[in-house]
A and B are shown apart, each in its own frame.
Chain A
Amino acid sequence: MSKTSKELLNELVAKHYEDAAQAKKDGKLVAWATSICPQELLEAMDITVVYPENHAAAIAARKHSQEFLDQSEGCGYSIDICSYARVNMGYKDIQYSEAANIPMPDMVFCCNNICTTVAKWYENLATELNIPFILIDTPFNHIYDAPAHNIEYMRNQIEHAIHQIEEICGRPYDYERLTEVMKISNETAYWWRRACFTAQAMPSPLSGFDMFNYMALVVCIRGKKEGRDLFKLWCEELEAKAAEGKGPWKEGEEEKYRVIWDGIACWANLSPTYKILKKYGINVVTSLYPDAWTILYETNDIEGMAKAYTYYHANRNVDYVAATKSQRVKDFNVDGVIFHSNRSCKLMDFTIYEQQRRITAETGVPTVVFDGDMTDPRIFSEAQYETRIQALVEMMEENKKKKAQEGK
């Protein structure tokens, strides 16, 4: 019998870490890279790429992040700095975790389309480890569409990065292989998005927390064939489930409310955040993550690639983000929105109140904010989380009653 996507997912995650360790042993180059960077450039030159954010999340999900937070805080990194950065800066020193391990890097590759902290974080890594630092500096899109001069700026940097990679590898760039990796990356992006969008069905065949699991891999193996094949398989499974009218959980467990989860998961508190939602029959049907790795462009179109990377949602203005979320509310029949006010992520927190205001004005659905963190377990309070979630349920229930009365 062929494997399910879940079995394959677990195998591939394990393989990702094993392969990286083996590559290091074999003397291959290893890069540490940010989660939504043009990894195609590295992959094409056979550089092993691992992702500190992903690794930090894996460590936190297995409840091992505190040790690394303590280490970096002991070195003087403030608790107000991103906890992914703190876990990784701690890992740089300790270099071992029971949870998961990544080989030490020969270079760091940073694209600050995801946040501004990464530029300093990676600069520190490069300085302390005395290794090359490749930066794709991505201007924030203050206006709705990226202006041509920004795209040109990024295109020039991508070309410069290619030269840097040639120098590090000591051989000419493999443009043929780049074409191939670009093609695979785009196919992976296509299947990832299509799979996530099966949650439009009612009930959704997809549980949002399952999506978080698969997300771990879309970060790591977007440019590899086995990644593309996994997401295609996952999508086919979900489409089959939807066709049979199956929901996200076991039979008899009803999807009562459909919500958007805004922001990063609380990896360090994954179990209570999930269980409390499930207790009230709340399924996270979507977020902006489906599009985070939907990096689509024509193969060999460097400007298209630049544009795709600059359009990551956290790099776009409030008009775009609010309009996109409101559209998701409508497209996914969403009953409410949960905002994770993430102590680590000032960029995401900054517009929460305005997002709330606009989404409610546009769609009428209630929203709620809770305090937490992605990898620092000290920030989250289970009781406070449950009160806010239950209050959201009560508001969603009132809305449903109102709608039912209007419908009569």
Chain B
Amino acid sequence: MFLGIDIGSSSSKVAIVDENKNVVAAKVVNMGTGTNGADVAMQAALDEAGITLEDVKYIVATGYGRLKFDKADVQITEISCHAKGVQTLVPDADTIIDIGGQDAKVIRLAGGQVENFIMNEKCAAGTGRFLEVMSRVLNTDLKDLSALADQSTKALAISSVCTVFAESEVISSLAAGEALADVARGANFAIAKRVAGMCKRVGTGKKIVMTGGVALNDNMVRSMAAELGQEVTAVPHCQVVGAIGAAIFAHEKYHK
């Protein structure tokens, strides 16, 4: 068995693949780097696969916390791991939009390899953190943000790029009587606009897919497609794509 662990800023994800590179376990724990989330997620995945750590032949760590995880044989960046995961799950994809807790990135693939990538600046704008802040202001669970946005009847623009300023802008909108649903959709569009700008910098290909926790938000995926004027689909198991990529790398490194 081969294990990939993706330790992000807000969650830890683990995937285990077998000798034939089939995914036998995939777990997400909403605790990121600096917590015991990585160990909890790993134990949960091992339990799901019905194995112990001794059965794992190779471990690849990725994500923000990759360098602090001492059980890994090797560390590989989330850029390469997302590319590898997508290549396995959606082989014809050539553009990846990955929006995680504190990073947003767009990766261009050529022949399955990373050709170019761009990441957000040192700022939470256009990341999952932005949606976390918005959901708190809207008094809604992050997972319910999409359903709420679906009820929107009016396009409401959030113009602030900065998460902190956007928060006060949203509070002002709500105070002015704007509907929660319209604000929720506005938040999705604000991210979509920012990430679309990154897509234009590296150039989108023919098949665009989304990974990362934010891709769980269907309304967000549709907003992204609307903003780009191109079809965008969420990769199945979008949160664990990086971990799956890491597990496949573990398999390949072991058999090299």
Residues of A within 8 A of B (CB): 341, 353, 356, 360, 366-367, 369, 371, 379-381, 383-384, 386-388, 390-391, 394-395, 398
* Interface SS majority for chain A: helix
Do residues A387 and B122 form an inter-chain contact, with CB atoms below 8 A? no
Q: How far is the CA of A250 from the CA of B117 in the complex (A)?
A: 33
For the complex, is B207 an interface residue (Cβ under 8 Å from A)?
Answer: no
Q: How many A-B Cβ pairs are below 8 Å?
A: 41
Do residues A384 and B201 form an inter-chain contact, with CB atoms below 8 A? no
The 5 closest A-B pairs by CB, nearest first: A391-B79, A391-B77, A394-B80, A390-B77, A371-B122
Instruction: Please name the residue on chain A nearest to B64 by beta carbon.
Output: A383
Q: How far is the CA of A258 from the CA of B121 in the complex (A)?
A: 25
Say whether, besides A391-B79, A394-B77, A384 and B119 are in contact (CB < 8 Å).
Answer: yes
Partner of B80, one of A353, A356, A380, A391: A391
Partner of A394, one of B79, B119, B122: B79
Say whether, besides A383-B64, A387-B78, A390-B77, A395 and B122 are in contact (CB < 8 Å).
Answer: no
Contacts of A367 in B (CB 8 A): 116
Do residues A360 and B77 form an inter-chain contact, with CB atoms below 8 A? no
Contacts of A341 in B (CB 8 A): 121
Do residues A353 and B201 form an inter-chain contact, with CB atoms below 8 A? yes
Contacts of A379 in B (CB 8 A): 122
A selection of 24 A-B contacts at a CB cut-off of 8 Å is A356-B116, A360-B116, A366-B114, A369-B118, A371-B121, A371-B122, A379-B122, A380-B122, A384-B119, A384-B122, A386-B67, A387-B77, A387-B78, A387-B79, A388-B119, A391-B77, A391-B79, A391-B114, A394-B79, A394-B80, A394-B114, A395-B113, A398-B113, A398-B114
Give the contact-size bracket for chain B: 10 to 19
Interface residues of B in 100-146 (CB under 8 A from A): 113-119, 121-122
Contacts of A390 in B (CB 8 A): 75-77
Q: How far is the CA of A356 from the CA of B117 in the complex (A)?
A: 11
Q: How far is the CB of B36 from chain A (nearest CB, A)?
A: 19
Q: How far is the CA of A19 from the CA of B146 in the complex (A)?
A: 67
**Chain B CB within 10 Å, residue with most, of A369, A383, A386, A398:** A383
Q: How far is the CB of B72 from chain A (nearest CB, A)?
A: 13
Contacts of B118 in A (CB 8 A): 369
Q: How far is the CA of A387 from the CA of B67 in the complex (A)?
A: 10
* Interface SS majority for chain B: mixed
Task: Taking A367-B116, A383-B64 as given, write out 17 further A-B residue pairs in contact, using a Cβ cutoff of 8 Å, ordered by the A residue number.
Answer: A353-B201, A360-B116, A366-B115, A366-B116, A371-B122, A384-B119, A384-B122, A387-B77, A387-B79, A390-B77, A391-B77, A391-B79, A391-B80, A391-B117, A394-B114, A395-B113, A398-B114
Q: How far is the CA of A325 from the CA of B78 in the complex (A)?
A: 29
Contacts of B114 in A (CB 8 A): 366, 391, 394-395, 398
Q: How far is the CA of A398 from the CA of B78 in the complex (A)?
A: 16
Instruction: Please name the residue on chain A nearest to B75 by beta carbon.
Output: A390
Q: How far is the CA of A380 from the CA of B64 in the complex (A)?
A: 16
Contacts of B67 in A (CB 8 A): 386
Contacts of B75 in A (CB 8 A): 390
Q: How far is the CA of A394 from the CA of B201 in the complex (A)?
A: 21
Q: How far is the CA of A98 from the CA of B201 in the complex (A)?
A: 43
**Chain B CB within 10 Å, residue with most, of A371, A380, A381, A394:** A394
Do residues B76 and A394 form an inter-chain contact, with CB atoms below 8 A? yes
Contacts of B78 in A (CB 8 A): 387
Q: How far is the CA of A379 from the CA of B116 in the complex (A)?
A: 24
Q: How far is the CB of B113 from chain A (nearest CB, A)?
A: 5
Q: How far is the CA of A199 from the CA of B232 in the complex (A)?
A: 46
Q: How far is the CB of B249 from chain A (nearest CB, A)?
A: 10
**Chain B CB within 10 Å, residue with most, of A380, A387, A395:** A387
Contacts of B116 in A (CB 8 A): 356, 360, 366-367
Q: How far is the CB of A351 from chain B (nearest CB, A)?
A: 13
Q: How far is the CA of A380 from the CA of B122 in the complex (A)?
A: 8
